[in-house]
Amino acid sequence: MLKKLFQSFRSPLRRLPLQRRAPEILTSRQHSLHRDDISRNAVNVVQRLQQAGYQAYVVGGCVRDLLLDLDPKDFDVATSATPEQVRAEFRNARVIGRRFKLVHVHFGREIIEVATFRANHPEDDDEEDANPLASRNESGRILRDNVYGTLEDDAQRRDFTINALYYDPASERILDHTHGVHDIRNRLIRLIGDPEQRYQEDPVRMLRAVRFAAKLDFEIEKHSAEPIRRLAPLLKEIPSARLFDEVIKLFLGGQAERTFELLLEYDLFAPLFPASALALERNPEYAGQLIRQALANTDDRIYAGKPVTPAFLFAALLWPALPARVLELQDRGMPPIPAMQEAAHDIIWQQCQRTAIPKRFSIPMREIWDMQERLPRRHGRRADQLIESPRFRAGYDFLLLRESAGEQTGGLGDWWTDYQEADEAGRRAMIRGLSSSKDDPAARKRRRGGRRRRSGGDSDAAAD
Ligand code: ATP
Ligand code: MG
| CATH code (residue 377) | 1.10.3090.10
Atom nearest to 164 CA in ligand 1: 20
Considering the domain architecture, whether residues 180 and 280 belong to the same structural domain is answered as no
Those residues whose beta carbon sits under 5 angstroms from the ion ligand 2 are 61, 74
The pairing of beta strand 110-116 with beta strand 76-79: parallel
Q: Is 48 within a domain?
A: yes
Separation between Cα atoms, residue 137 and residue 129, nearest integer Å: 10
Minimum CA distance residue for ligand 1 atom 16: 60
| Proximal ligand: closest to the CA of 158 | 1
Per-residue confidence (pLDDT) for residue 436, from 0 to 100: 59
Minimum CA distance residue for ligand 1 atom 11: 61
Per-residue confidence (pLDDT) for residue 438, from 0 to 100: 54
Considering the domain architecture, whether residues 179 and 51 belong to the same structural domain is answered as yes
Please choose from 76, 199, 224 the residue to mutate so as to test ligand 1's pocket, defined by most ligand atoms within 8 A of CB. Answer: 76
Atom nearest to 253 CA in ligand 1: 4
Considering the domain architecture, whether residues 279 and 134 belong to the same structural domain is answered as no
Per-residue confidence (pLDDT) for residue 147, from 0 to 100: 83
Question: Are 167 and 151 spatial neighbours (Cβ–Cβ below 8 Å)?
Answer: no
Residues facing 24 on adjacent strands: 176
Separation between Cα atoms, residue 103 and residue 98, nearest integer Å: 11
Question: 177 alpha carbon to ligand 1 midpoint, in Å?
Answer: 16
| Kind and range of the H or E run holding 24 | strand 24-26
Residues facing 96 on adjacent strands: 102
Tens of pLDDT, residue by residue, the chain (464 residues): 444 433 433 343 443 445 567 899 999 999 999 999 999 999 999 999 999 999 999 999 999 999 999 999 999 999 999 999 999 999 999 999 887 899 999 999 999 999 999 988 655 444 444 565 666 676 667 666 678 999 999 999 999 999 999 999 999 999 999 999 999 999 999 999 999 999 999 999 999 999 999 999 999 999 999 999 999 999 999 999 999 999 999 999 999 999 999 999 999 999 999 999 999 999 999 999 999 999 999 999 999 999 999 999 999 999 999 999 999 999 999 998 899 999 999 999 999 999 999 999 999 999 999 999 999 999 989 999 999 999 999 999 999 999 999 999 999 999 999 999 999 999 999 999 986 555 555 555 544 443 333 332 233 322 22
Residues facing 77 on adjacent strands: 58, 114
Going by the DSSP 8-state scheme, the letter that residue 58 receives in this structure is E
Beta strands in 76-222 (DSSP E): 76-79, 93-96, 102-107, 110-116, 134-136, 142-145, 165-168, 173-176, 188-189, 219-220
Residues annotated as catalytic are 74, 76, 159
Per-residue confidence (pLDDT) for residue 98, from 0 to 100: 80
Question: 419 alpha carbon to ligand 1 midpoint, in Å?
Answer: 48
Per-residue confidence (pLDDT) for residue 462, from 0 to 100: 29
Beta strands in 158-271 (DSSP E): 165-168, 173-176, 188-189, 219-220
Separation between Cα atoms, residue 160 and residue 146, nearest integer Å: 19
Considering the domain architecture, whether residues 182 and 311 belong to the same structural domain is answered as no
Considering the domain architecture, whether residues 312 and 428 belong to the same structural domain is answered as yes
Pick from 144, 171, 186: which residue ends a domain?
186
Considering the domain architecture, whether residues 299 and 429 belong to the same structural domain is answered as yes
Going by the DSSP 8-state scheme, the letter that residue 202 receives in this structure is -
**Chain CA centroid to CA 81, Å:** 31
Question: Are 134 and 121 spatial neighbours (Cβ–Cβ below 8 Å)?
Answer: yes
Question: 128 alpha carbon to ligand 1 midpoint, in Å?
Answer: 25
Radius of gyration of the CA atoms of the chain, in A: 27
pTM of the model as a whole: 0.87
Pick from 137, 154, 186: which residue ends a domain?
186
Per-residue confidence (pLDDT) for residue 452, from 0 to 100: 36
CATH of the domain at 115: 3.30.460.10
Question: 115 alpha carbon to ligand 2 midpoint, in Å?
Answer: 12
Considering the domain architecture, whether residues 309 and 427 belong to the same structural domain is answered as yes
Diameter of the chain measured on Cα atoms: 90
Per-residue confidence (pLDDT) for residue 6, from 0 to 100: 36
Q: Which domain holds residue 281?
A: 274-438
> Ligand 1 pocket: which residues have CB below 6 Å?
60-61, 73-74, 76, 158-159, 163-164, 202, 204-205
Considering the domain architecture, whether residues 282 and 416 belong to the same structural domain is answered as yes
Q: How many domains does the chain have?
A: 2
Considering the domain architecture, whether residues 294 and 396 belong to the same structural domain is answered as yes
